[in-house]
Amino acid sequence: MLIRTLSVLECTKILTANRVARLACTKDGQPYVVPVHYAYADNHLYAFSMPGKKIDWMRANPLVSVQIDEHGEGRGWKSVVVDGRYEELPDRIGHKLERDHAWTLLSKHADWWEPGALKPVTPPVSDSTPHVFFRILVEQVSGREARE
pTM of the entire predicted model: 0.83
Cα gap 38→147, rounded to integer Å:
27
Residue 112: band (very low, low, confident or very high) from pLDDT cuts 50, 70, 90: low
Cα gap 118→98, rounded to integer Å:
21
Quick check: 130 pLDDT over 80? no
Cα gap 66→134, rounded to integer Å:
14
Instruction: Give pLDDT tens digits for 12-45.
Output: 999 999 999 999 999 999 999 999 999 999 999 9
What dihedral do alpha carbons 66, 56, 96, 67 form, nearest 10°? 10
**Residues 33-46: b if buried by 16+ CB within 10 A, e if exposed:** eeebbbbbeeebbb
Quick check: 79 pLDDT over 70? yes
The pLDDT assigned to 83 comes to 98
Question: Any idea which of 45-54, 98-107, 135-144 has the lowest mean pLDDT?
Answer: 98-107
Judge whether 23 and 82 are in contact, CB under 8 Å: no
